[in-house]
Amino acid sequence: MKLSLPAGSFRAYLFDCDGTIVDSMPLHYVAWKTSLADYNCVYEEKLFYAWGGRPIREIIRLLNEMQGLDMPVDVVAEKKEAIYHSLLPQLKGIPEVIEHIDAQHGRIPFAVVSGSRRASVEGSLRSLGLLDKFDTLVCAEDYARGKPAPDGFLLAAERLGVAPSECLVFEDTDLGIEAATAAGMASVKVPLPFERTAA
C-alpha cells in the first residue's frame, strides 16, 4: 500500500502520532479494555476508532455519561497510560508513513499533533527511534480544544513558522481530517489497521 499525497509543494509535514506514525491503536485498545474492565465499562472497538484523536480524559468522561458510570477520570487515565507504556516493546511503525518521514527529513520541518499526552507521544516515538526527527510536538496539554477543532494544527504551523496553506497533514481519523481542513491544510488519510490488512 502506497500513500498518495495531494498535489502541491508543501513546506511542512504535520503528523498525528497514534495510528499514523506508529501502529499503536491496537495496543491502545488493549490498554483501554484492561483499564476499563474493573469498572464494567464497555468500549466497543468501532467506537474506539471513531473517537480516535480525542483526549484520554474526555473519552473517560464521555463513557461515564453514556453508561451512567462514575469512573475516577485521573485514576483510569493514569492506569490506561501505564498499561500502554508496558506494551511499547511490541510497538511497530507504519511503513508507508515512515517512508515519507525518511524521504523529507532534513528538507522540511516536521511536527506531531496528537490528542495524546506528551509522555505517551514521546514514549511511542522514542521506542521507534523517531523522536529526534520532529521539530516540535503539540500534545493534549498544549491546547484547550481537541480535534476536530483546528487548534493543535494551527499551533504547530505557528511554531514551525509555516503558513497553514503550506502544511500537509497525515491523519488516520475522520476527526483529524476535519481538524486539518478547518485549519486550512491539505491532508492525506492513513488507512486504519483493518483497512490496511484488507488492502
- Taking 50 as the threshold, does the pLDDT of residue 108 lie above it? yes
Give the pLDDT of residue 178: 96
Taking Cα atoms as reference points, which of 7, 9, 10, 14 lies closest to residue 158? Answer: 14
Pick the CATH number of 12-24+91-198 from 3.40.50.1000, 3.30.1010.10, 3.10.400.10, 3.90.1300.10: 3.40.50.1000
Section 102-118 average pLDDT: 96
Say if residue 118 is exposed, middle or buried (CB neighbours under 10 Å; 0-12, 13-18, 19+). Answer: middle
CATH class of 25-89: mainly alpha
Look at the chain and count its residues: 199
Average pLDDT (112-116) is 95
Reply yes or no on whether the pLDDT at 199 is more than 60.
Answer: no
Per domain, the residue ranges of the chain are: 12-24+91-198, 25-89
pLDDT at 197 over 70: no
Among residues 16, 23, 151, 172, the one annotated as catalytic is 16
- pLDDT tier, 1 (very low <50, low <70, confident <90, very high otherwise): low
Phi, psi of 93 (to 5 degrees): -85, 170
Mean of the per-residue pLDDT values of the chain: 94
This prediction's pTM? 0.88
pLDDT > 70: percent of the chain = 97
Residue 172 annotated to the active site: no
Residue 156 has φ and ψ, to the nearest 5°, of: -65, -45
Give residue 55's pLDDT. Answer: 87
